């Protein structure tokens, strides 16, 4: 039930402890909740997300993101060994980013304690 439906319902009810006018007045003073974010809030959220993700990725060890078993080498001129390719563990990086985004969003939208 939304604000307007509640007002209409109260207009049709029998008066109780409070008059219908008093209840309607109280309800009309209720501010509609808004889920829109201001530009400043979006910028703050972006900075929080980027800071959290960057901090976590900076602390990663190469063993966590590099798939050493996928490394391909080649012996070239003068018996030099060269690394042709190596894969990155995208699943691990995606999991880390998802965890950091979830945590940052939770922290950003959780009620702040005084």
Do 21 and 74 reside in the same domain of the chain? no
Do 50 and 11 reside in the same domain of the chain? no
pLDDT tens sequence across 13-69? 656 666 667 777 767 766 665 567 778 888 888 888 888 888 888 888 888 888 889
Tally the domains of the chain.
2
Do 11 and 66 reside in the same domain of the chain? no
C-alpha angle 55-57-63 in degrees, rounded to nearest 5:
140
Are 82 and 74 in contact by the 8 Å Cβ rule? The answer is yes
Q: Tell me the β-bridge partners of 44.
A: none
Do 7 and 58 reside in the same domain of the chain? no
Do 74 and 100 reside in the same domain of the chain? yes
Neighbours of 10 (CB within 10 A): 19
Do 28 and 16 reside in the same domain of the chain? yes
Do 48 and 91 reside in the same domain of the chain? yes
Do 2 and 53 reside in the same domain of the chain? no
Do 67 and 113 reside in the same domain of the chain? yes
pLDDT tens sequence across 69-106? 999 999 998 899 999 999 988 888 888 888 888 888 88
Say which residues have a Cβ less than 8 Å from residue 99's Cβ, sequence separation at least 6. 56
- Measured between alpha carbons, how far is 74 from 29 in angstroms, rounded to an integer? 74
Do 26 and 44 reside in the same domain of the chain? no
Domain that includes residue 58, residue range:
34-114
* pLDDT for residue 85: 93
CATH of the domain at 39: 3.30.300
* pLDDT for residue 75: 94
Do 14 and 55 reside in the same domain of the chain? no
Q: Tell whether pTM > 0.75.
A: no
Do 43 and 81 reside in the same domain of the chain? yes
């Amino acid at each position: 039930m939304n604000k307007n439906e509640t007002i209409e319902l109260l207009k049709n009810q029998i008066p109780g402890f409070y008059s219908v006018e008093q209840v309607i007045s109280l309800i009309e003073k209720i501010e509609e909740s808004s889920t829109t974010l201001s530009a400043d809030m979006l910028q703050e959220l972006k900075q929080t997300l980027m800071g959290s993700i960057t901090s976590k990725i900076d602390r990663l060890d190469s063993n966590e993101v590099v798939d050493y078993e996928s490394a391909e080498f080649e012996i070239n001129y003068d018996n030099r060994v060269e690394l042709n390719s190596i894969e990155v563990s995208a699943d691990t990086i995606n999991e880390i980013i998802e965890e950091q985004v979830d945590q940052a969003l939770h922290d950003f939208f959780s009620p702040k304690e005084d």
